[in-house]
């Protein structure tokens, strides 16, 4: 087993608390299925879970798992701004989360959107300092979408961690310049959306709405995989893992079968030239790479 690559994996939990993904036809897994997934993930060497206040029952399910298991995952979770909450108390929130997850500290406490962080920063600054000085949070982070957001984020000294999309289309050609700068500043880089919410596996002939504009690029990926005797799944999961400037790669699964399939794909050896060829794939309209902009 390629332990170094498995150690780069973070297990996303949005599927545990909500119906998520463009290709999700099964809905949420049951609590029993989630517990089995977490047992398996832990046994395979995955040690970090990514969750959020906005992920439905995800927090509750993880806390119940920790209550009923000797296994302990490190936790990254994300703050979301609630309506009518004039002055959110980050320290109080984190204290509640530590009790809920039965852990002495969070690996990361992130802001779910750059706007939440930027707009409220003056109010949050003192609380962020307190969270880090008391050791309740190892790393403070922000989830971003655009290179422009990340560029602005680098002007804040309190940030240790950033999470952003990175995949076969939202790739090296789109991201390397800013990620190289981020890495040199000493921030930890986590990427998400390796499968672009399942778009890479969708039948091209069924595309509609906004994502229809990505048809040519998706076909190019299919043809590339066919000519290089590699599956889209193998290529998509290993591409971000191949980048030294990426510290962790977030993947979401909703069954043990998917988890095992991902680990099997990671454990194979691949010609590194495949990934450098993907680096040159380019989508001119980067707006198409943001699922929140998709319209049917």
Q: What is the CATH number of the domain that holds 67?
A: 3.20.20.100
Q: What is the pLDDT of residues 126-157, one digit of tens each?
A: 999 999 999 999 999 999 999 999 999 999 99
Domain holding 119, by residue range, is: 3-201+233-270
104 belongs to a structural domain: yes
Average pLDDT, the chain: 92
Task: Take residue 255 and report the two structure tokens written for it.
Answer: 């069954």
Question: Which carries the bigger pLDDT value, residue 295 or residue 261?
Answer: 261
Average pLDDT for 233-241? 97
Q: What is the pTM of this model?
A: 0.93
What SS3 class is residue 110?
A: strand
226 belongs to a structural domain: no
- pLDDT at 79 > cutoff 60: yes
174 belongs to a structural domain: yes
With pLDDT > 90 as the criterion, what percentage of the chain qualifies?
81
- pLDDT at 190 > cutoff 50: yes
Q: How confident is the model at residue 54 (pLDDT cuts 50, 70, 90)?
A: confident
Q: What are phi and psi of 256, to 5 degrees?
A: -65, -35
The pLDDT assigned to 21 comes to 46
Average pLDDT for 116-125? 90
User: C-alpha distances in angstroms, 24 versus 60, 134, 137, 177, 209?
Assistant: 22, 40, 33, 33, 18
Residue 261 burial (CB count, 10 A) = 16
The pLDDT assigned to 22 comes to 42
The pLDDT assigned to 84 comes to 61
Query: What does the DSSP 8-state code read for residue 35?
Result: H
131 belongs to a structural domain: yes
289 belongs to a structural domain: no
240 belongs to a structural domain: yes
Tally of structural domains, the chain: 1
């Amino acid at each position: 087993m390629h332990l170094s690559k498995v150690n780069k994996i973070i297990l996303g939990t949005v599927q545990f608390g909500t119906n998520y993904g463009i290709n999700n036809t099964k809905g949420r897994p049951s609590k029993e299925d989630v517990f089995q997934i977490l047992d398996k993930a832990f046994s395979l060497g995955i040690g970090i879970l990514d969750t959020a206040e906005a992920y439905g029952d995800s927090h509750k399910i993880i806390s119940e798992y920790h209550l009923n298991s000797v296994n302990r995952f490190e936790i990254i979770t994300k703050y979301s701004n609630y309506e009518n909450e004039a002055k959110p108390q980050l320290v109080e929130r984190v204290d509640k989360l530590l009790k809920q997850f039965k852990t002495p500290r969070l690996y990361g406490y992130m802001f779910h959107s750059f706007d939440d962080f930027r707009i409220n920063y003056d109010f949050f600054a003192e609380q962020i300092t307190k969270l880090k000085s008391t050791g309740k949070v190892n790393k403070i982070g922000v989830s971003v979408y655009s290179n422009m957001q990340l560029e602005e984020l680098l002007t804040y000294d309190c940030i240790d961690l950033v999470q952003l999309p990175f995949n076969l289309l939202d790739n090296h050609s789109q991201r390397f310049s800013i990620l190289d700068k981020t890495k040199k500043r000493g921030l930890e880089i986590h990427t998400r959306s390796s499968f672009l919410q399942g778009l890479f596996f969708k039948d091209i002939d069924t595309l509609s709405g906004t994502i229809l504009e990505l048809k040519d690029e998706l076909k190019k990926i299919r043809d590339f995989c066919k000519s290089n005797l590699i599956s889209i799944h193998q290529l998509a999961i290993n591409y971000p893992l191949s980048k030294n400037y990426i510290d962790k790669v977030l993947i979401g699964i909703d069954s043990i079968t998917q988890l095992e399939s991902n680990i099997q794909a990671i454990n194979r050896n691949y010609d590194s030239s495949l990934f450098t060829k993907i680096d040159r794939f380019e989508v001119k309209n980067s707006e198409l790479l943001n699922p929140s902009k998709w319209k049917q």
